[in-house]
Amino acid sequence: RSWSPGQARRTNASRRACLVARFSDIYAQERLDAETLLRTYISDVEMVQRIIYIAAVESFHAAKMAYRQFKMRVREILSLGHSGPESLEDAVLDYIVRHEDLYDVRASVNDVILSMNINPKISCPPEIDFIVISTLIQELCCVAFSMQTLIPPLDVAFGIDGELFSETKYYRSFDSDYTAALVAYHVWPALMENSIVIAKGEAVTKR
């Protein structure tokens, strides 16, 4: 299929719909697979859920960093011979969308695992490593990288323990105290477009 200038912008809506659906699929499938796997090593359900939440947030952070570096390299190369008809920014975006397979997702997965290893809120038993959930991390990194090619890009909300529970941002987990106003911890991040919630996350509320 031929690629015409500015096609990344023209396909923005359809790509966005596919990526939002993929993010929801990861929540419904890969997240649960990772939870099941971790629970064979870790009996504390809260710790398992915290690990997965932090993996999701760190995956988006790593993918965004990788995207910025990739975009800078592409812009540098294309600027040498760019003459139109599209703008340089559109040419860069078109190139990235066409060549997303050049994204070094393994490097991002390694960055995520390194960040998780030094996160004071989570821990793994010494006999295992966070690499056991590398499939989930890889899927999240890929979808997060692709979401950076959207106009505007999508990102996950940053949640903190003890924040006021938001009905617009999160679903309460089934084991929550429904009368509690504060988030004890997060299970899954909300997906955001600028400041608008595109897909709700999940959180646990407790007194």
Relative to beta strand 196-199, strand 191-193 is antiparallel
Distances (CA, A) of 16 to 11, 69, 110: 8, 22, 27
The phi and psi torsions of 2 (rounded to 5 degrees) equal -75, 150
As a whole number of angstroms, the distance between CA 28 and CA 128 comes to 24
Whole-model pTM? Answer: 0.92
Range 59-85 average pLDDT: 89
Q: What confidence tens digit (pLDDT) does each residue in 94-141 have?
A: 999 999 999 999 999 999 999 999 999 998 888 889 999 999 999 999
Q: What confidence tens digit (pLDDT) does each residue in 19-39 have?
A: 999 999 999 999 999 999 999
